[in-house]
Every structure is written in C-alpha cells, then in structure tokens.
C-alpha cells in the first residue's frame, strides 16, 4: 500500500462518502432528461420492428465501442449476429459464433436486459468470465471470475514504454476488495433518493476506482453504468450508446478519471463531464433513429421489386453504412459469389433503378443507392 501522502481518492478518510453540488448540475440534468424523453417518445411512435432494429444498432455499437476503448477491435457482423441470436431477431444470414464476441455481448445484454435484478459479486464474476473465456488476457494468464490478488504487485494503470512508464492510478490493495465491493454493491442495490443518472455516473467512477479484477475493469464499469441508465429509462431496449460517445471522447474520459481519482470526494466536476458526455450520446442517437427510418423507407419504396438473397444482403449493408465504395469485386467477396454473378446482380439493380453508378467512381466503377 502507498505510504505517506494520500495521493488517491480511496485513501481519503471519508471514502467513499461522495459529495457533489446538485444545484450546479441541475441545468445539465434537465437537458439530459429532456433529451432522453424526446428520444424515447420518438422511438415509441415508430413501431416494434423499427425499435428492434434501432436496439440492434445501438447494442452493436455498445459492444464494439466498449471493447475499442480498450484497444480491442471486434467484427461488426459477428457482434450483430450474436445479439440477433440472443434477442431472437431475424437479420438473414448470421456470422459464425465467436465465443469472445459472445462473451462481451452476454455481459452487455445481461446488464441492460436484467437491469432490475440485483447486482451481486457472483454476477460480476460471470461477466468477467464471459469477457475472458480462455483465462487469458492477450498472452497473460489472469484470475478469471475472481477478485485480483496482487500477487504480481499492486494494481496500477500505466502507459508508456517500460523505461519511461507513467503510473496514472494505483488501485486499493487486494486485501480491501471484499469489504469495498460489499459496500459498493449494498449502495448500488439500495433504493436511491438521488437522480438515477447521477447514480450511473457515481457507479461508473466508484467501480473503476476499486478496480477489482486483473483486467476488464473498464468494460465492466461501463456495463454497471449502462445497467443504472437502463433502470433510469425503465426500458430494456437501448436507443443510445454511452460507450460509443466515450470512445469519441476517450482522451477526456481518461483524463477526467485520473484527475478525479487523484482528487477529493467532491465529484461535481466528474459528474458534470459525465452528464455532458451522456447528453451528447443521447443527442447523437437521433442519427441512429434517422438511419433506421431511412432504411424502413427504402424497403417500403422498393417492396414490389423482386430481389434475390445476395441483393437484399448487399443493399442492407449499404443501408447500415458500408465502409468505402461498393464495387463488383467487393460485392463478389461479401456475397461469396463469382465476379460474373456479382455483375449480373448489380446490372439487374441498375436496370430496376435501385442502384446507380457513383459519380466519383475513380479507376474502378462503384455503385450507390438511388436517392
């Protein structure tokens, strides 16, 4: 344990008696609730099928981005397929199962779909085991489904090469974990007088400050925060992704965590930043809804046009935000067909007016949806 000065927040005598200036946060809280209410109201009006589509998009982003924050990139198709399997949604052909992807999906869905259930140590252990199904983080073997034991030294968040390593944070010693997690879980599961969005911000900070696992603490902290937000929305369907917004603001996210973890128990500044980030996430979800509505409008417009499975699959990829330009070679690769078959598919859609040649094709001809 660190001796001498009290460098970290958990060394404060009153930790974890959090304090914050509610009066200062109220204007931002009002904006967050107004934006949440507006988004939920719009989603209520679009029908179950479109709500499912929006939820699939948002949950896919949540799983992708909470991993990407930690520098790990998952495959979008594998994530979408894993979520669709678990929610019973028909999205056509499914990608093969990937147990690592499935583990992150299981954690995110358990946190949001079962937000009303009590959060226990056993449940957290299950999330952790799902994140690390092989028992390894990269090449390092870690304790899975159990609190860390600090056998390799104190838990530190570090960056930089070994010779110039910078310690951003050192977590409480392993000997304190049982007591500190018991205290956290008792608070998290108890009825709260405070605004549930405030609860989400404090829960996120509190859990990642305890840092109870060898690895995966950030992802689990974000899942805990999402669990609180799902409870605040009283809704198992998710229409905005905090993790996606945190990735956009990753440097600020880490800076604010480090600053707060080295500060006092007054967490007003952290909550102000967290609420701002949440507000931007909710406001950004309007683009998700617009994309869902545009996709529905597209298929309504072309409902009477016959298409084969390959054409439907590729058109849905374009509607979901195709990366780069669609060429006949990409069509053949994605649809797993020959170049000749891809050209026939494309020519058919050109003749029907569904696709047009892109004006900015460059060397190779590319195609886009008719506007």
Numbered residues of the known binding site? 215-222, 253-254
Dist. CA 97–CA 171, nearest whole Å: 35
C-beta separation of 366 from 327 below 8 A: yes
C-beta separation of 148 from 212 below 8 A: yes
Dist. CA 208–CA 189, nearest whole Å: 17
Place of tokens 């992807």: 101
Could you tell me which residues are annotated as the binding site for ATP? 215-222, 253-254
Kindly name the residue from 115, 128, 204, 211 that is annotated as catalytic. 211
> Can you say how many angstroms the Cα of residue 268 is from the centroid of all Cα atoms in its chain?
24
Burial (CB count <10 Å: 0-12, 13-18, 19+), residue 94: middle
In the structure encoding, which two tokens stand for residue 156, read together?
């530190």
The answer to whether residue 100 is catalytic is: no
Those residues whose C-beta lies under 8 Å from the C-beta of residue 168, and which sit 6 or more positions away, are 156, 157, 158, 159, 254, 258
- Ranges of H-type helices in 14-98: 22-44, 48-68, 76-87
Strand 156-159 versus strand 326-327 pairing type: unpaired
Dist. CA 206–CA 187, nearest whole Å: 11
- Quick one: angle between helices 309-319 and 339-352, nearest 10? 70
Q: Shortest CA distance to 10 belongs to which of 218, 175, 192, 124?
A: 175
In 148-224, beta strands by DSSP E: 156-159, 166-170
Give the HSE-up count for residue 109: Cα atoms under 13 Å, Cβ half-sphere. Answer: 19
C-beta separation of 8 from 210 below 8 A: no
Those residues whose C-beta lies under 8 Å from the C-beta of residue 282, and which sit 6 or more positions away, are 32, 35, 36, 39, 240
Q: Which residues are catalytic?
A: 211
């Amino acid at each position: 344990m660190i001796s001498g000065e009290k460098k970290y927040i958990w060394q404060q005598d009153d930790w974890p008696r959090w304090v914050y200036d509610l009066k200062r946060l109220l204007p931002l809280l009002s904006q967050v609730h107004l934006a949440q209410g507006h988004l939920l109201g719009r989603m209520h009006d679009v029908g179950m099928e479109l709500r499912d589509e929006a939820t699939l998009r948002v949950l896919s982003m949540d799983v992708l981005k909470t991993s990407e924050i930690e520098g790990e990139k998952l495959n979008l198709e594998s994530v979408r397929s894993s979520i669709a399997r678990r929610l019973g949604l028909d999205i056509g052909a499914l990608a093969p199962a990937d147990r690592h992807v499935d583990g992150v999906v299981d954690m995110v869905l358990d946190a949001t779909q079962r937000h009303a259930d009590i959060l226990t140590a056993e449940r957290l252990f299950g999330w952790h085991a799902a994140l690390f199904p092989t028992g390894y983080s990269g090449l390092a073997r870690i304790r899975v489904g159990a609190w860390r034991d600090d056998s390799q030294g104190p838990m530190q968040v570090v960056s930089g090469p070994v010779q110039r390593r910078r310690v951003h944070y050192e977590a409480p010693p392993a000997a304190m974990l049982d007591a500190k997690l018991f205290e956290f879980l008792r608070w998290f599961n108890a009825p709260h007088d405070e605004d549930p969005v405030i609860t989400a911000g404090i829960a996120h900070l509190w859990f990642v400050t305890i840092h109870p696992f060898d690895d995966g603490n950030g992802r689990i902290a974000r899942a805990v925060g999402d669990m609180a937000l799902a409870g605040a929305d009283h809704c198992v369907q998710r229409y905005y992704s905090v993790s996606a917004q945190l990735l956009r603001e990753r440097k600020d996210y880490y800076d604010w965590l480090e600053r707060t973890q080295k500060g006092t128990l007054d967490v007003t500044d952290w909550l102000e930043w967290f609420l701002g980030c949440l507000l931007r996430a909710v406001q950004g979800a309007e683009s998700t809804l617009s994309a869902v509505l545009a996709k529905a409008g597209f298929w309504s417009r072309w409902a009477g046009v016959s298409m084969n499975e390959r054409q439907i699959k590729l058109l849905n990829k374009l509607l979901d935000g195709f990366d780069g330009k669609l060429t006949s070679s990409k069509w053949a690769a994605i649809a797993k067909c020959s170049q000749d078959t891809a050209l026939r598919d494309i020519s058919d859609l050109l003749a029907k007016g569904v696709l047009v040649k892109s004006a900015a094709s460059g060397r190779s001809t590319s195609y886009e949806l008719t506007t």
